[in-house]
Structure 1
């Protein structure tokens, strides 16, 4: 049974109302890769009545009350991706497709009606405003990647302005950053017990307090006070300072930042344990599209895929993942992953192929640290690896082999990204995945062929990638395999001028590499690369950088690299 989406569904369950109503611009798919499903099912498992409003017609506020007024709160998400990233290309042109909508159609439209986007720009703020117009008495909790990456004052590429925290702009009461299952559960429990939003002290949460309400925090030295919104707007060096202070904190201490007359207060992150992660993914899902939708292309991509871990210690400058999932990898137990695959294999119509067992980087599964983490957070160290990094490649291979032995499973594929750094991709591991788990193309992400740009990206030097190509070709020849490398490349990253772009073009050409995985750099909120783009220099080294903003030049670079 799906989670309720209408009042008729509530009646079928014998409910008068929901405890929490989850609102999302994505089509409802009951699958653990979709946030609305995993949050709703997790709350349901823990005794709360959760309903889902998927793709409300946001120009009509009453649509946000399809399930009535919730007993505790509304929980609003901007969707699986930031709404501005999904609505616009890197060159700020409107996208014509949305893979999280039916048939990729991003518009509401009926004959004779003016069409408008299913996913509004700055989705969270729009949804919150419309909810407030019809319901003022219940708290609004915001979360998901759009909220997570806009939780402090940040540079917004699409408006070319510094914007306040989305908590301020949306007028919500609570922001939950990161992966929100446990923080949402604890927040709802606290609200149910009568604790007001401004008095919450929940892990992974951000709230607003007046200046006289933070005296107890200021008396404790264990906090980080960022330059205020006003300081950041008026001084780029203040923006640089705020960025480095925030990033270096790694969500370990309380963070304060003044925005007008109030402060945002961010509480430290909760590091999820393996047992807690297993408890989430051990929940049963329909693993289907809700009957109110037909074809949702994003579901086709992940229908028979399995998440094995969360987090990424790659710490690439351009990637928002470390700000959302965190830099520490937490892996599910082999038993939990195998049990999920057994459920998939038992489903009617299962083809026999598990299309992925992975996470942000597939071969980070089961990796760990001998000293349980450090302040440097540079585990890969130019591809050779920190002396304290414990590779999980043997455990990952054991997981893949066990999955392949499950009744009904004929084929296991790896379609998550694979890091080519030798410290987590040794020859033994590379040989086995090429023979058994990579279909025809191995997708890897050198990102650039310029060592200077790679340094800006916090990626290993090009020699590490060239070494990987040699290993790949040698093993391919020894095993008589027809496999190919497909490189992911970013054009226009800060630090890249015409000479650096030519270096990338030459590297690809000399090694006969081509493909369609080329993109123009998009400055997404709160990443180090976005700070470089806005500042014109690296916030850590203060080194001035070339920043190309001309759309025609960027398109030319992309095309010249691609062919």
Structure 2
């Protein structure tokens, strides 16, 4: 049975009033790869009555009351990704497809039918919350998900080309949850249920707006960011705020002033393996709600399994570490295999598990021998930190065990794979090539210019060369016919014509064909976005000019693709 999405479904399940209504611009897919499903099922398991308000008509405030007024709170998300990234290409052209909508159609009406506007509004979180406030002012609103998480402090917004305030103010929401939100959401809901006002809630991974900063400045190790006005008026103050935010890594209370108000953020709380196992052991239908026909995003992950969260790669352009964190939290072997057994017993299972992974597949089980560093520079320019304990052997053992499960004929790895030797040794390469990929191994050098790679915080071409020699040697020895398919980013800050030529020569030198490439899109709060806005690296001060003519960037992309 699905979580209710209408009054009719509420009645069928004997629910008069929902405790929490989760509002999302994505089609409701009851699968553990979709946030609305995980959060809804998690709250349901704790005894709460949860409704899913999927894709409300955001131009009509009353549509947000389709499930009635919740007893405790609305929980609003911008969806599986930032709405601006989903709605627009790197050239700021509206996309014609939204993979989280039925049949990929991003509009409420079908082609040739009446009024046409997007299902997912730009800056979804702010739009949804403001409409909810119009229709129902007195019920608290909790915001979360990646859009809220990455826009939680003053940030540069590529699409408007300006510094924007925290989304908490723009949305007029009561409380924000950043990062992975199951346990923070539960604790927040419990606080609200017990009558604690949002401004008094002190839950890990949450942030609020205060009229007064109170005694926060006196909290031990509290981090005070430059104010919004300072950040808006001065690029150097923006850089300072970014450095302080990054260095803090959500370990201490964070404060930023806005006019007479203050953004106050609590430190993060990392889930344990036991808690992660509990979350993924929840009951899911593992399919879209029956009111939908086909959801393209579901097709990709129908039989995929999440093995862990977090990524210590810390690529400058990637938002994963700012959302999921840099520490790896892995599920237990038993938990992963239990889920695969459940999938293999499903009526329509065709024998293939399409992925067992996370942000980076072969970071499963990785840990720090010293207990955890502040910097999380685990890969150390490709050589690897002496304290890094890779979990590669355990990960491959789980894949091998999964292949023995009844009805499972094939296991694929579709998550990213890091090729540094410290987490991908020769035996791992041989095992992956022989069993878990089909003909092509997708790798992400991102660039062939050492200057750009350093700015990306990616390993140098020398590290790739070492991997390539190992790869070709193993391929020759085993007789496998696998080839490498590179993934590239063009237009990253610091890249000019010289660096494009270096990347072209890189592709030619290693005989890399079938390259996939995208134009760099500055997303909120990443180091690369700060470089794009500032014109220099906020960490080193190195000048980083960026090509901002999107037509020229498209030519660069086409040039590289033609060279591969």
TM range (shorter): over 0.9
> 494-503 vs 472-481, which deviates more?
472-481
Q: Secondary structure at the match of 1:402?
A: helix
Deviations 1:336-378 (A, max 9, x none): 0000001101100100110100000000000010011112220
Indicate if the aligned counterparts of 2:311 and 2:320 stay in contact, CA closer than 8 A: yes
Indicate if the aligned counterparts of 2:382 and 2:420 stay in contact, CA closer than 8 A: yes
Alignment of 1:285-434 (within 5 A): 285-434=284-433
Alignment of 1:28-427 (within 5 A): 28-109=28-109, 112-211=113-212, 214-427=213-426
- Displacement after TM superposition at 1:260 (Å): 1.6
- Displacement after TM superposition at 1:221 (Å): 2.9
Distance 1:162 1:317 in 2: 19
- Displacement after TM superposition at 1:516 (Å): 4.8
- Displacement after TM superposition at 1:540 (Å): 1.0
Distance 1:485 1:46 in 2: 46
Indicate if the aligned counterparts of 2:217 and 2:224 stay in contact, CA closer than 8 A: no
Distance 2:508 2:126 in 1: 45
Number of residues of Structure 1 aligned to a counterpart in Structure 2:
561
Q: 1:528: which partner in 2? A: 527
- TM-score normalised to the size of structure 2? 0.98
Deviations 1:84-125 (A, max 9, x none): 000000111111111111111101115552100010000111
Distance 1:315 1:324 in 2: 11
Distance 1:367 1:467 in 2: 22
Deviations 1:184-208 (A, max 9, x none): 0000000000000000001100101
Q: 2:542: which partner in 1? A: 543
Distance 1:524 1:553 in 2: 20
Distance 1:246 1:389 in 2: 25
Q: 1:490: which partner in 2? A: 489
Determine if the alignment matches structure 1 residue 461 to structure 2 residue 477.
Answer: no
Q: Secondary structure at the match of 1:70?
A: coil
Q: 1:513: which partner in 2? A: 512
Q: Secondary structure at the match of 1:168?
A: helix
What are the ranges of 5 or more consecutive residues in structure 1 without an aligned counterpart? none
Distance 2:240 2:35 in 1: 33
Q: 2:477: which partner in 1? A: 478
Deviations 1:7-43 (A, max 9, x none): 1111111111100000100011000000110100011
Q: Secondary structure at the match of 1:529?
A: helix
Distance 1:259 1:310 in 2: 33
- TM-score normalised to the size of structure 1? 0.99
> 79-88 vs 462-471, which deviates more?
462-471
What are the ranges of 5 or more consecutive residues in structure 2 without an aligned counterpart? none
Indicate if the aligned counterparts of 2:216 and 2:222 stay in contact, CA closer than 8 A: yes
Distance 1:220 1:393 in 2: 41
Q: Secondary structure at the match of 1:108?
A: coil
Q: Secondary structure at the match of 2:348?
A: coil
Q: RMSD across aligned C-alpha pairs, in angstroms?
A: 0.9
Distance 1:514 1:58 in 2: 44
Distance 1:484 1:314 in 2: 24
Distance 2:516 2:197 in 1: 47
> 402-411 vs 191-200, which deviates more?
402-411
- Displacement after TM superposition at 1:441 (Å): 1.2
- Displacement after TM superposition at 1:259 (Å): 1.2
- Displacement after TM superposition at 1:514 (Å): 2.5
Distance 1:158 1:43 in 2: 35
Deviations 1:472-518 (A, max 9, x none): 11111111112111111000100101101110111012222132520
- Displacement after TM superposition at 1:215 (Å): 2.5
Deviations 1:253-310 (A, max 9, x none): 0000001210100101101100000000011210011011000010000000000000
